[in-house]
Amino acid sequence: MINKYPLVFLCCLFYQIQFIGSQTREVILLDKDWKFKKGKSLEAHKTSFDTSSWETVSVPHDWAIYGPFNKDIDKQVVAIEQNGEQIATEKTGRTGALPYIGEAWYRKNFQIPEFDTNKRVLIVFEGAMSEPEIFVNGKKVGEWKYGYSYFYFDITNYINASEENLLAVKLTNMGLSSRWYPGAGLFRKVQLIVTQKTSFKQWNTFITTPLITDSLAQINIKSEVIGKPLRLETEIYNAENNLIVSNSSDVLFGDKFEENLGVKNPKLWSPESPYLYTAKLKLYDDKGLVDEITQRFGIRRISYQPNKGFSLNGKIRKFKGVCLHHDLGPLGVAVNKAALKRQLRILKDMGCDAIRSAHNMPSIEQLELCDEMGFMFIAESFDEWAKPKVKNGYNRFFNDYAEKDVVNLVGATRNHPCIVMWSAGNEVPDQWGAEGVKRAKWLQDIFHREDPTRPVTVGMDQVEATMASGFGALLDIPGLNYRVHLYEEAYKRFPQGFILGSETASTVSSRGIYKFPVERASMKTYDDYQSSSYDLEHCSWSNLPDDDFVLQDDKPWVIGEFVWTGFDYLGEPTPYDEVWPSRSSYFGINDLAGLPKDRYYLYRSRWNTNDNTLHILPHWNWEGREGETTPVFVYTNYNSAELFLNGKSLGVQRKNSASPQNRYRLMWMDVNYEPGTLKVVAFDDGGNPAAEKEIRTSGKPHKISLKPDRMVINADGKDLAFITVSVEDKNGIPCPTATNQLEFRVNGAGTFRAVCNGDATSLEPFHLPTMKLFSGKLVVVIQSSDKAGDITLEVKGDDLKEGILRLKASKVKQNM
């Protein structure tokens, strides 16, 4: 339990900055010129194997995202126990209906400059989907099992000195191995790390801050080393790159150095001020400098206290968090830092301050961005333990690999200040019975052994079972997935003195789609396979956002929530997982293209306390509904507002406690539709007009509008620009129901990368330069080349004035 450990948890960030050509350490990123082929290729690990017909790709890479969508790929006849199903039914689209199943091979030639017997070479993988087998120069180095796991091998003895070397990777994705789209391939970066024989051990430096005051922070650094070093020197720099303190240690405790340095007047890391320092660690032996690593770190303290909850740097606060799956919509699961940063910018504007990686280990790039941009983080490990949810899931490997996977997760990421707790699992069937309790304790003990500074949680959906068995009582942080009706009882029964909403809401909606009559519904389905964006529809096991808002606002012992989900993701198309076509989720606050749904503004009105929110729904294009009741909702941080239709007042609404919805939304339920202008005027607490917003009925689609997220991107061959494409009438009014088929052409120093419209039923491939608008919008993704210059995007559609946008790719590094 959490009270067994210090109430203040202290941690800093450690991650390696890449060096190319360093005298002491060389990090070689293996990203370009891989040879790839899907399918069985016997003896493809051999050096003499012919790959002339293989595709040339860059890594990170997801080979399954290119489709085509096919319901037979992942058709399953199952009863989803965590959804409360008792009878097996046919499910389609559960893993995205994309062809991720099967074997694939990657091959890459590389050289180790000036390799000699005094050097050590590691091959490091941060994710390989899945069951990777690694070969170097025709010989098997080793294998791993979990596709999301970080792992590495020492390949020193496999290297050919002064010759070209061959790396081959075999991946195997089995059917019935996932509950969502897992992707396929080397979807995270691959690196070679070349050091001297005496060096820092991989993922074995731990930085903590045992003492923090206003005037001084104690920085404790434990570094495990290999070989026979004599001395460790450390320099710490502030964010302005000024040296502020240094230290030297020549005392080894076994194979570890331990240093304590003092940072005067420390600036603390928080979501509001994500301040990061830099440390340079230099390792010496009797011949001089042998290894050097540069790291950034943050200083912050966390505390979880009974009946008070969570505090950061001494201030009580509640998590305003979302859960995120690992796919990046039309880009698949291949990690791209620009795409990740775009997601976080969108969430930051909403007021979100925390992320839960669901239900897998996060990428290093995501953690780095959360450190820099200011997001707290729950780093999750597994969706399964020993008992299966799917036949070929992680349950096959749990007994042999769980400890190794946790050790690597914690070792690789424990120094990121954004991480404020670990999650050992999500809705595992092991919640029932004594064996599950033992497994929960075993895993939690491993996390504590590897990192005694942070608590551990598990996302529990079988709350009554965990109350009876003791499962929930032993956890540091009892995490409840939904089950809002059990919060009070769980708080009384569990000894920790607080409850975390580890997964909340699961409200479903389709961007820009509205259904009538407007009423709360569970598992509601329609002939078009969409869900209403009035935000009143949810799943059989879940609830509406407002139900969680009440708990967050009224119960001090509820320490925050993580909404399912921040963005739509591929797979799990509830409530349409038994019909076709439907191949992605409806849960997102933002759609699969990253476009905000109406629900985005509901959360923004509560979470973003720096900016005002005033948002009207639905759209006002309802030809054929003239005179029919068309309710109007307003999401705003203001407590009251007046609605006008074509200049006529429809009355003032005030937030009240009549229902959770009345408490957080302004609703005019009896509006009769007539085309024209719908305007809302919001009032401050003194009754004075403070803001206004209007929407208008549009005419026929006339011209294409293009809005980029950035005008200048990096000419590095990896950076991305996201362009929102919409259609307007001749007066510039957006056309919210437009479904025109558009075509895209990119010229210059960039290429067309992908397109997505956010429609969960669309079967159009993401990588082809054509797609229909959905609810009047879509997003085009452009990727830079490695040359600077202009990039031109042309968008055309029948009977529409084309849209043209000019961007720049620059060799001067841009802030993504």
Least confident of 8-22, 293-307, 790-804: 8-22
Question: What gap in Å lies between CA 248 and CA 526, rounded to an integer?
Answer: 68
pLDDT confidence band for 22 (50 / 70 / 90): very low
CA distances from 804 to 516, 714, 785, 787, 815 (A): 38, 20, 19, 21, 24
Instruction: Give me the amino acid identity at 783.
Output: Q
Count of CB atoms within 10 A of residue 173's CB? 24
pLDDT confidence band for 365 (50 / 70 / 90): very high
Question: What gap in Å lies between CA 86 and CA 358, rounded to an integer?
Answer: 25
Question: What gap in Å lies between CA 759 and CA 514, rounded to an integer?
Answer: 14
Give the DSSP H or E segment for 741. Answer: strand 741-748
3-state SS, residue 603: helix
Query: What dotted CATH number matches 318-515+541-567+594-607?
Result: 3.20.20.80
Per-residue pLDDT at 16: 37
User: Which of 195, 191, 248 has its CA nearest to residue 226?
Assistant: 195
Q: pLDDT tens, 399-444? A: 999 999 999 999 999 999 999 999 999 999 999 999 999 999 999 9
> Is 83 a residue whose pLDDT tops 80?
no
Q: pLDDT tens, 221-246? A: 999 999 999 999 999 999 999 999 99
pLDDT confidence band for 683 (50 / 70 / 90): very high
> Is 463 a residue whose pLDDT tops 50?
yes
Per-residue pLDDT at 310: 98
Give the chain's mean pLDDT.
95
User: Which of 676, 672, 682 has its CA nearest to residue 632?
Assistant: 672
Torsion angle in degrees (nearest 10) through CA of 249, 250, 252, 258: 0
> Is 676 a residue whose pLDDT tops 80?
yes
For residue 421, how many C-alpha atoms fall within 13 Å in the half-sphere facing its CB? Answer: 29
Backbone phi, then psi, for 780, in 5-degree steps? -105, 135
> Is 565 a residue whose pLDDT tops 60?
yes
Per-residue pLDDT at 2: 42
Tokens of 58: 């860059």
Least confident of 155-164, 378-387, 513-522, 555-564: 155-164
User: Which of 655, 669, 725, 731 has its CA nearest to residue 698?
Assistant: 731
| CATH superfamily of the domain spanning 703-810 | Immunoglobulins (2.60.40.10)
Q: pLDDT tens, 41-54? A: 999 999 999 999 99
What sign for the dihedral angle of Cα 542, 544, 545, 548? negative
Compute the average pLDDT of residues 717-731: 98
CA distances from 206 to 391, 414, 582, 611 (A): 37, 7, 45, 38
- Locate all alpha helices (DSSP H) within 353-432, ordered by sequence: 364-373, 398-413
Q: Is the peptide bond before 130 cis (omega within 30 degrees of 0)?
A: yes
CB 279 within 8 A of CB 224: no
Determine the Cα angle at 577 with ends 572 and 580, to 5°: 120
Task: Pick one of 1.10.150.120, 3.30.70.100, 2.60.40.10, 3.40.47.10 as the CATH number of 2-17+198-301.
Answer: 2.60.40.10
Q: Is the peptide bond before 485 cis (omega within 30 degrees of 0)?
A: no
Question: What gap in Å lies between CA 148 and CA 85, rounded to an integer?
Answer: 28
Question: Which of the two residues, 113 and 321, has the higher pLDDT score?
Answer: 321
In the CATH hierarchy, which fold is given to the domain comprising 622-696? Immunoglobulin-like (2.60.40)
Give the DSSP H or E segment for 387. Answer: none
Compute the average pLDDT of residues 256-268: 97
Per-residue pLDDT at 9: 37
Q: Max alpha carbon distance in the chain (Å)?
A: 88
3-state SS, residue 628: coil
User: Which of 539, 683, 553, 532 has its CA nearest to residue 598?
Assistant: 532
Per-residue pLDDT at 79: 77
CB 648 within 8 A of CB 672: no
Question: What gap in Å lies between CA 807 and CA 816, rounded to an integer?
Answer: 14
| CATH superfamily of the domain spanning 31-64+100-188 | Galactose-binding domain-like (2.60.120.260)
Compute the average pLDDT of residues 300-320: 96
Tokens of 532: 């209403």
Q: Tell me the domain boundaries of the chain.
A: 2-17+198-301, 31-64+100-188, 318-515+541-567+594-607, 622-696, 703-810
Count of CB atoms within 10 A of residue 627's CB? 8
Per-residue pLDDT at 674: 98
Q: pLDDT tens, 103-131? A: 999 999 999 988 998 999 999 999 999 99
> Is 758 a residue whose pLDDT tops 50?
yes
Q: pLDDT tens, 785-814? A: 999 999 999 999 999 999 999 999 999 888
Count of CB atoms within 10 A of residue 164's CB? 11
Q: Rounded to two decimals, what is the model's pTM?
A: 0.96
CATH topology match: 31-64+100-188 vs 318-515+541-567+594-607: no
Compute the average pLDDT of residues 58-81: 90
Per-residue pLDDT at 82: 67
> Is 15 a residue whose pLDDT tops 90?
no
Q: pLDDT tens, 759-784? A: 999 999 999 999 999 999 999 999 99
Q: pLDDT tens, 332-360? A: 999 999 999 999 999 999 999 999 999 99
Compute the average pLDDT of residues 611-625: 98
> Is 654 a residue whose pLDDT tops 70?
yes
3-state SS string for 449-498: HHCCCCCEEEEECCHHHHHHHCHHHHCCEEEEECCHHHHHHHHHHCCCCC
Per-residue pLDDT at 81: 72
For residue 126, how many C-alpha atoms fall within 13 Å in the half-sphere facing its CB? Answer: 26
Give catalytic residue positions. Answer: 427, 503
Backbone phi, then psi, for 282, in 5-degree steps? -125, 130
CB 564 within 8 A of CB 506: yes
> Is 14 a residue whose pLDDT tops 80?
no
Unique residue bearing structure tokens 């690992």: 326
Count of CB atoms within 10 A of residue 215's CB? 10
Strand partners, 300: 11
Q: What percent of the chain has pLDDT over 90?
A: 92
| DSSP states along 658-672 | SSHHHHH-EEETTPB
Per-residue pLDDT at 75: 83
Per-residue pLDDT at 23: 64
Residues in the chain: 816
Strand residues in 250-361 grouped as ranges (E): 252-253, 256-264, 277-285, 288-297, 300-305, 309-312, 315-316, 319-324, 354-357
Per-residue pLDDT at 53: 96
Contacts 24+ apart (CB under 8 A), 391-400: 391/176, 391/177, 392/174, 392/175, 392/176, 392/177, 393/176, 393/177, 393/178, 393/179, 394/146, 396/145, 397/145, 397/146, 400/145
Question: What gap in Å lies between CA 439 and CA 434, rounded to an integer?
Answer: 9
The side-by-side arrangement of strands in the sheet containing 277-285 is 243-249, 231-237, 277-285, 288-297
Per-residue pLDDT at 454: 97
